[in-house]
A and B are shown apart, each in its own frame.
Chain A
């Protein structure tokens, strides 16, 4: 009996270990594949072309700067919208809302998170973009801002659920301590609860950024896909073309092994590196914050 239990435990431990390692293996394999298919680009397209401002693959113009700036503009816009909204909603749900309201809001937000992005994109084309064109008096409603708005909507549920968990994990004694010192509810939230949940909230925002930068469908439908270099002040309210939308729109067209094909993988590689950088920055920030908190508590 004892022995069979050990045996089972051994198998289960190994299984869990394997699934843990498999994540590393998968990421490594994906990256390896991206490099294998994308790296030949550097030999085929000269750097002046690669870092030019014109993306027009059927004439062998492979400037990726418009695509990178396009992705950044849309993502930054989305974060400016999703960050306050997401954290605000999380604070409301976890700290302020009465119990019954919480019971309604939580599943609603999760439902929003499960909404297929195609549906949001369709709503964006039919409702949001015409509304923004008239409301902001733009030449067209298919702009980076429309993309940001919808992407913000997509990122909010992710941010809310992770940030809310982090707020929930703050010990009740912290809040009671603050109240005992005469702090108002607002002071407690702003000075005690939120700082204590800082690392979790940061993780939430980083996950939101990851969600926003990798989103394809909605972005392709509502941003207009015009490969303009998005570095002017008005770029947020002009059409842009993102990296993800470019890969999605052109993937089906390219012949296997052509320059254009390698180029699309190169864009994928760039996207992967950007996500990696975001994650490294995030975890180093979170890690540092944790160490500091541990120092103070010890």
Chain B
């Protein structure tokens, strides 16, 4: 169990935000705590928000942890967090489980995110259609030369199944948004426990293809331009292409609370949707909601 805990700390880059307002007197008993847990995609953003907010409101302390969307929602269901961050929409069975526990999840769209498909800079392939991506990840295409690259095997990288990004990618790319489709990831897809793991492998391995939130992609990796269908325009992920909906693999990011938020949790969520917080969204490479 200890190992599981240690691993969690590492693989999900759990970062507990240290309050920047240490000058605050310890006798102040009116400190309000907000517990925020969930998506690894959102964790850096949530952390930046928490730090800025705490600098303004010294009576509020926000603790931010990652672990994956499933982890955050599980925590919300078990009623151990105030806010669960999620990079996918809550599932029906999760809502049912929550209601069985007396928890009523309420959804807030707090930012948008493009999923960038990344390859090694040495890879000559720079454009793919959604269908080609689906075929690559489901195992129908196994060599880069089939999509106009060199004669190299394709190494598919994915996040672990507890990642909201994984589920989103499965539904939007592998199944092309068709809910009756039962296509699965090819069994030899490497399931890496963190975004960072995917980036390290893509950086080192010219055979690899992976995906990550736009905000996480470093400059030295190559993003693939995606076309919705053969003959369509190939679009690179960016804030404008997400907002005009021309980049096909983009999604909303959510925070969930138990019931409509009240009091200082409501204040915080309202602030998140305000201009100042949404500016931070753009700074971190995500897409503001308005």
Listed in ascending order, the chain A residues whose CB lies under 8 Å from chain B are 53-54, 56-59, 66, 118, 125-126, 129-130, 133, 139-142, 216-217, 220-221, 224-229, 238-239, 241, 247-256, 258
Q: A139 near B155 (CB under 8 angstroms)?
A: yes
Q: A255 near B97 (CB under 8 angstroms)?
A: yes
B161 within 8 A of partner (CB)? yes
In the complex formed, the residue of B with least CB distance to A131 is: B204
CB distance from B134 to the nearest CB of A (A): 16
Interface stretch (choices B27-35, B123-131, B184-192): B184-192
CB distance from B53 to the nearest CB of A (A): 26
Pairs of residues from A and B, 8 with the lowest C-beta to C-beta distance, nearest first = A253-B162, A253-B70, A224-B190, A139-B153, A225-B191, A140-B155, A252-B71, A130-B204
Set of chain A residues within 8 Å of B8, measured between Cβ atoms: 252
CB distance from A38 to the nearest CB of B (A): 15
Q: A140 near B201 (CB under 8 angstroms)?
A: yes
B161 touches which one: A58, A141, A220, A247 (CB < 8 A)? A58
B77 touches which one: A216, A247, A255 (CB < 8 A)? A255
How many residues on B have C-beta within 8 angstroms of the other chain's C-beta atoms? 42
A56 touches which one: B185, B193, B201, B208 (CB < 8 A)? B185
**Cβ contacts A to B, 22 pairs, < 8 Å:** A54-B184, A58-B161, A59-B182, A125-B197, A125-B201, A139-B152, A140-B205, A216-B4, A216-B7, A217-B3, A221-B193, A224-B190, A224-B192, A226-B188, A226-B190, A238-B188, A248-B3, A248-B7, A251-B4, A253-B71, A253-B162, A255-B77
Q: B3 near A216 (CB under 8 angstroms)?
A: yes
CB distance from B169 to the nearest CB of A (A): 12
Beyond known contacts A217-B3, A254-B74: 12 more, CB 8 A cutoff? A59-B182, A130-B205, A141-B204, A220-B11, A225-B190, A226-B187, A241-B191, A248-B7, A250-B160, A251-B4, A256-B78, A258-B97
B167 within 8 A of partner (CB)? yes
Q: B200 near A239 (CB under 8 angstroms)?
A: no
Q: B162 near A142 (CB under 8 angstroms)?
A: no
In the complex formed, the residue of B with least CB distance to A55 is: B187
In the complex formed, the residue of B with least CB distance to A214 is: B3
- The A-contacting residues of B in range 68-84, CB under 8 angstroms, are 68, 70-71, 74, 77-78
CB distance from B267 to the nearest CB of A (A): 29
Task: Scan B201-212; emit 1 where CB is below 8 A from any A CB, else 0.
Answer: 100110110000
In the complex formed, the residue of A with least CB distance to B66 is: A252
Task: Scan B191-235; emit 1 where CB is below 8 A from any A CB, else 0.
Answer: 111000100110011011000000000000000000000000000
CA distance A245 to B197 in the complex (A): 15
Q: B187 near A142 (CB under 8 angstroms)?
A: no
Set of chain A residues within 8 Å of B105, measured between Cβ atoms: none
CA distance A217 to B74 in the complex (A): 23
CB distance from A10 to the nearest CB of B (A): 35
CB distance from B204 to the nearest CB of A (A): 5
B248 within 8 A of partner (CB)? no
A255 touches which one: B74, B153, B154 (CB < 8 A)? B74
Q: A217 near B7 (CB under 8 angstroms)?
A: yes
CA distance A126 to B199 in the complex (A): 12
With known contacts A140-B205, A253-B162, A126–B200 Cβ distance under 8 A = yes
Q: B167 near A58 (CB under 8 angstroms)?
A: yes
Q: B188 near A247 (CB under 8 angstroms)?
A: no
Q: B190 near A142 (CB under 8 angstroms)?
A: yes
B288 within 8 A of partner (CB)? no
With known contacts A252-B71, A255-B77, A140–B190 Cβ distance under 8 A = yes
CA distance A140 to B192 in the complex (A): 13
Q: B197 near A221 (CB under 8 angstroms)?
A: yes
- The A-contacting residues of B in range 57-110, CB under 8 angstroms, are 67-68, 70-71, 74, 77-78, 94, 97
Most A CB within 10 A of own CB, among B71, B191, B205: B191
Set of chain A residues within 8 Å of B154, measured between Cβ atoms: 139
Set of chain A residues within 8 Å of B71, measured between Cβ atoms: 252-253
Set of chain A residues within 8 Å of B275, measured between Cβ atoms: none
In the complex formed, the residue of A with least CB distance to B9 is: A118
Q: B70 near A225 (CB under 8 angstroms)?
A: no
